[in-house]
Chains A and B, each alone.
Chain A
Amino acid sequence: GENVEQHPSTLSVQEGDSAVIKCTYSDSASNYFPWYKQELGKRPQLIIDIRSNVGEKKDQRIAVTLNKTAKHFSLHITETQPEDSAVYFCAASPPVAGNMLTFGGGTRLMVKP
């Protein structure tokens, strides 16, 4: 089955700096790569996703890049703000019935004001 590894497990940045979180996946058939944000005590929510036919996608201060050859994808957050502090999860989904996701272990991002 799919295996997703995520690094780093914790990341501390100053407000205004950029943050990068990296994930690798094992199943070359995976074709959907979402990123979820989970604030303390809340449910995970999708913040951005990318499909395998696209190399990069941006939404305001966040962007995701995908390298299918190397089987890795990254989340980039620019101009970080204290409200970006949360746990971020990457995931990969192979094209099978049920559209199941395999999640990475998560990255705790702390943005210091």
Chain B
Amino acid sequence: TQLLEQSPQFLSIQEGENLTVYCNSSSVFSSLQWYRQEPGEGPVLLVTVVTGGEVKKLKRLTFQFGDARKDSSLHITAAQPGDTGLYLCAGVNNAGNMLTFGGGTRLMVKP
């Protein structure tokens, strides 16, 4: 069974602070995705990382994929209250049609 562990589970910070969320896998997935979910909504894709060592930036969000393609991180610079939500990493299976979710990180950014 492929498992994804996310840390921390919960993070409460002040506006303007930086933070990093980690996602570690027990095995290699074909790719790894990060989703963000707001209350009352379904998760929405932020990014997909495929290549070991890959770095992707989405405004103040920086996503890294480890060289061995078993770990990933999400770094948010100068967090804003609008970043508040549940962040989920998910591994895509080899068939490319199914996800395994990590435990999630609940982020609260206080003004």
- A and B associate in one complex: no
- A-side residues, CB < 8 A to B, are none
